[in-house]
Amino acid sequence: MVRETSLTADNFIYPLFICPGSGVRREISSLPGQFHLSVDQVSREAGEIAELGIPSVILFGLPSKKDDVGSEAWHPEGTVQQAIRAIKKTAPDLCVMVDACFCEYTTHGHCGVIVEKALDNDATLENLGRLTVSYARAGADLVAPSGMMDGAVGFIRESLDEEGFEQVGILAYAAKYASAFYGPFRTAVDSTPAFGDRQGYQMDPANVREAIREVALDVEEGADIVMVKPALAYLDVIGEVRREFDVPVAAYNVSGEYAMLKAAAEKGWIDHDRVMLETLLSMRRAGADLILTYHAKEAARLLRRAP
């Protein structure tokens, strides 16, 4: 009766990994319980997610072949574009968000165009425009630029509007830190940079005032939802963003957070379900409206059973 914070399936956004081929449902070794799914497997998955009361998914794609700029990402018949259409057919009410980045699609594993060993921000924006318009055309409800390019939100907003996709929203990876917690994800999508690191475009974990500046820019440029990533080691940042801005705030409960919990549970050192729900609740208490989490399905099942 006096509980201040709630946690329900309504808060969740569930990440899905879409891969080429057919009949593929392959467990990801670094993310136990998560799968690489080919397009033909996605409909069943989407039905199950909707049935659990989870309102949204976010799609990540794996290419059949990588190149310098990641051009397969914006192919109109790409795996992600096909998956969007498949989901919209089986579960039309599921909100489909799509991660818009190139690191899975480039041979060097960086999030955009590389010129002389450095990321070319503005050349990457042009490609992000193409990419997000192609997702919108396939039926995406929101696009989520995750590369932390300067000016990405504004550029994408304009590109979408020009093509008549005013109704497609933007989930901004507004405060994304250069974090070691993304390790299992990079193994899952084979996006570990071949040289250097992402510190040129992702944020220093020591900075919180910078996070506020980054979020302010994205809100000004037209972000509909702003995200803090990772979540668990950055609850203070979530809190600050919640207090400063009157827009929906999302937290990304990232792969490393998920993998640590799974590993400790497998060793029998922690009570998996209780630690999972306590962790997710902490993100809500810090101020997140929405949580992107690999736990979405298992947490939704538990919450449904709760008295």
Pick the binder of ligand PBG from 165, 182, 201, 234 (CB under 6 A).
Answer: 182
# of chain residues touching ligand PBG (CB under 6 A):
12
DSSP structure class, residue 106: B
d(CA 145, CA 72): 16
If one asks whether residue 255 binds ligand PBG (CB under 6 A), the answer comes out as yes
Task: Tell which one of 12, 14, 17, 185 touches ligand PBG (CB under 6 A).
Answer: 185
Binding to ligand PBG in span 31-90, by CB under 6 A: none
Answer for the pair 153, 222: CB distance below 8 angstroms, yes or no.
yes
Contact between 254 and ligand PBG (CB under 6 A)? yes
CB burial of 203-240 (b: ≥16 within 10 Å; e: otherwise) equals beeeeeeebbebbebbbebbbbbbbbbbbbebbebbbb
Determine if 12 is a binding residue for ligand PBG (CB under 6 A).
Answer: no
Judged by beta carbon, residue 46 or residue 101, the one nearer ligand PBG is: 101
User: What secondary structure, in 3-state letters, does 221-258 show?
Assistant: HCCCEEEEECCHHHHHHHHHHHHHCCCCEEEEECHHHH
Q: What is the DSSP letter of 117?
A: T
Length of the chain equals 307
Task: Kindly state whether residue 13 participates in binding ligand PBG, applying the rule CB under 6 A.
Answer: no
Query: What is the closest distance, in whole angstroms, from the C-beta atom of residue 140 to ligand PBG in the complex?
Result: 16
Give the residue among 58, 30, 72, 79 at the shortest CA–CA distance from 140. Answer: 58
307 preceded by a cis bond (ω within 30 of 0): no
Q: Residue 174 Cβ, how far from ligand PBG at the closest point, in Å?
A: 13
Based on the shown chain and the rule CB under 6 A, indicate whether residue 142 belongs to the binding site for ligand PBG.
Answer: no
Which of these is catalytic: 65, 88, 176, 267?
176
Catalytic choice (65, 88, 117, 229): 229
Q: Which of 19, 34, 97, 99 binds ligand PBG (CB under 6 A)?
A: 99
Which residues form the interface with ligand PBG (CB under 6 A)? 99, 101, 103, 111, 146-147, 182, 185-186, 198, 254-255
Task: Give catalytic residues, as residue numbers.
Answer: 176, 229
